[in-house]
Amino acid sequence: MSANAPPTVLIVDDDATLRGMLAQFLGDHGLRVVEASDGARMFERLATTAVSVVLLDVMLPGDDGFALCRRLRAAGHPAASNIPIILLTSVNSDTDRVVGLELGADDYIAKPFNPRELLARIRALLRRSDSGRGEDARSGAEFRFMGWVLNPRHRSLRSPNGALTDLTSGEFDLLLAFLEHPQRILSRDQLIDLARGRALTPYDRSIDVQISRLRRKIEPDPQRPRLIKTVRNEGYFFAADVDAAGAGAAR
């Protein structure tokens, strides 16, 4: 995709009428839209199109949205292991929401929804991705902690043994927020703001779910975390020393 090309949204939903309405609305607001009616067509689109955000319906024929989200987030998936995913569902269930986030979705919206709210969430994810390629990329910083190396320019994380670790967009931005503010207690609201996420309510569990996923990827023992510690009734605390090479010092 050229630098001036509009972001591309892939709508995966078996309701052709809804796909058409969303494609018209998003297109009118400056986004390019491609469509798929099921998982097989979704992967065909991803193989041939540079997609910026996936809108993925949970209730699909064949593999449902949860199964497809899991496949997309599988380590090293060639199509879209780190493309932002927004789940669409007709069930406004907190349990389903948490399941989706656990599988690696970046956001979740219940049908029927206001198209303007969906547009705002898409734009928030796009801004978050652009920020990672913008200010952080220009700084040239690499953040090092406990043998790990996070590179904002390439949006990559390498383990102490040098292997690349797959992170979702939300997980990456959350970890970056911790590394920019190490050894400080950060509330959930502060983390939401620092990670450039959408505006969430104080009771939203998204941050807790993302932290749980992040711990499973970087902690030696996620049940006894040494890096991301919980401070009861206050928030979270990144305990390791952080070396921000190329940026002077962690902020």
Beta-carbon neighbour count of residue 104 at 10 Å?
23
pTM: 0.63
The CATH class given to the 136-245 domain equals mainly alpha
Residue 199 has a pLDDT of 40
Instruction: Give Cα separations from 178 to 188, 190, 195, 241 (angstroms).
Output: 12, 11, 9, 11
Is the predicted pLDDT of residue 29 greater than 90, yes or no?
yes
Length of the chain: 251
Domain range summary for the chain, segments of one domain joined by +: 8-133, 136-245
Q: Which of 1-10, 96-105, 158-167, 192-201 has the highest mean pLDDT?
A: 158-167
Give the tens place of pLDDT for each residue, 40-91.
Answer: 999 999 989 999 999 999 999 999 999 999 888 875 554 456 788 999 987 7
Q: Find out whether 46 and 76 touch, Cβ atoms under 8 Å.
A: no
Residue 137 has a pLDDT of 43
Give the tens place of pLDDT for each residue, 1-18.
Answer: 555 679 999 999 999 999
Fold of 8-133: Rossmann fold (3.40.50)
More confident residue, 220 or 135: 220
SS3 content of the chain, % helix, strand, coil (to 5): 40, 20, 40
Is the predicted pLDDT of residue 161 greater than 70, yes or no?
yes
Is the predicted pLDDT of residue 173 greater than 50, yes or no?
yes
